[in-house]
A and B are shown apart, each in its own frame.
Chain A
């Protein structure tokens, strides 16, 4: 009886999938349409400091352009009414198209809105534009899930889109505020980006090594376990801002007392305290995830390994570690994403990095400069999140899905 009803239910669900509208995509696209026609899409400011005045979609693109965008979005909604596999593919193409059209839209807006006699004028990107970008990304996620694609394909698509944007930005989007801001300090930007990456890279790799060693030691010596976690938890209660600051004085003192350390680059401000603080913060998620990952492996499976005559090293490398690896990588992902955010704060103690632009910009009330720092940080975080997430997915033993 129950078996039959279950079958019936799955059959009905199966047919549902073909004919019931995908309300998620419909909601997203209709909401987006409403936003696009009611919120400023771009703004024009006469110079860097003065806040700009906003323009709506139809003003920025002209009526034909605005209609084109709206029709594409409406098509997205229409295709969602009777979703089938090929419709989802079509939606994927529309999303890609809209994403690719965005920089060209900015070009059109620039041509339409900026008077030729105002060389200082800058085109700012406002709410409507960001909404379009954000909703498109959400729609992409939804379509990816429906088409059961792996994370790789949308990621490649986004990389392609980003490359096109980059090209446009370099050659034709001179009037966009963000591009101007970048061109004014591109060397500085590259240096900051590099510093940021070094901070994150070094601290994450250090904490991965230390975290693994610590977690293994804590598993072996149970007395270390409590003490270790108590200590790591304690570090987390200190606000990140304060931890950076607290290291200033001791390190400056240490550097003045031990010249060798000073020669190695240790000083009160700059990279050294930033790295120490970053590692201290990264250790807890790393150790905790490693520890639980190794601990959560099914006892019965491990006992089976012993009973079959595996030596403890074989058991660790062939059974425990492979089974724990996805959760372990998850720990690395959390640690890395967190470190990208924390490294931003390190700018306050002179460690450089993208945070420099944020704090400088906030200080000068130059919002485009803040964006120049914040946007790459967001992109970086998303990139690391996605790639480590994909890595964890890949490393997940196939039998574990």
Chain B
């Protein structure tokens, strides 16, 4: 198995870093250079007292935003993939319809409403937004894990078992690798949606990139809104292109193998 892995890796195309690098450097420029762009934002709001959001540095906001999304995504991957694996095993199969239904319910619940319900339950701050994001992002992960694992050719699994693999080995070295592109696509959807959704956290006191937007709406300051929106959009594009790179890599290594 080790040699097979090496063979695949040596044949895989190099990672395509170009787009992630482009977006990431734009993002960095924007975040660090925001105070210097005052002249530009003056154009939006010629009369405002202040045109660049300064209550917190954009780097801090970005960090908070990113960590909220990352925690929610990690929890989503852990729960989603584990649930997907559990209900595709023989013993858990009875739970499959229920889990599928639950996951789709998660996406039916509007994140603002979940946020609003989470606040009375666990208070203001970061945790309600993490919970809301987790719920909202769970569906794509669970759905794709399910379809990925169910999509693995039954003959391939039979062959693996016939060769003497244990169920655990079948899962780890056959099913999961084969389902990986689909699972990854689910994680990508989930994370990209949640980067934009996380901005809502600003309405319940979780300080992140949504703050400038809320401040802009309240103070009628378009410049603030643009700043928040641009940074969030660049963040979304950066992360999305990273996922794209991973998917391309997975695809080329597959077709080469």
Contact = CB atoms under 8 A, between A and B. Distances in A.
Interface string A1-28: 0000000000000000000001110000
B101 interface: yes
A99 interface: no
B196 A245 contact: no
A239 B222 contact: no
Interface string B229-257: 10011001100000000000000000000
B34 to A, nearest CB: 15
Contact of A371 (B109, B117, B196, B232): B117
A374 interface: yes
A174 interface: no
Contacts of A338: 110
A362 B197 CA distance: 18
B120 A345 contact: no
Secondary structure dominating the interface of B: helix
Contacts of A282: none
Contacts of A224: none
Interface residues of A, number: 46
B116 A374 contact: yes
Interface residues on B, range: 35 or more
A127 B117 CA distance: 11
Contact of B110 (A239, A248, A361, A377): A377
Interface stretch (B8-16, B176-184, B198-206): B198-206
A362 to B, nearest CB: 6
Interface in B28-78: 44
B97 interface: yes
A129 B202 CA distance: 29
B110 A245 contact: no
A378 interface: yes
A242 B113 contact: no
Nearest to A242: B229
Interface of A: 22-24, 127, 138, 141-142, 145, 236-246, 248-249, 337-338, 340-342, 344-345, 348-349, 355, 358-359, 361-362, 367, 370-371, 373-375, 377-378, 381-382, 385
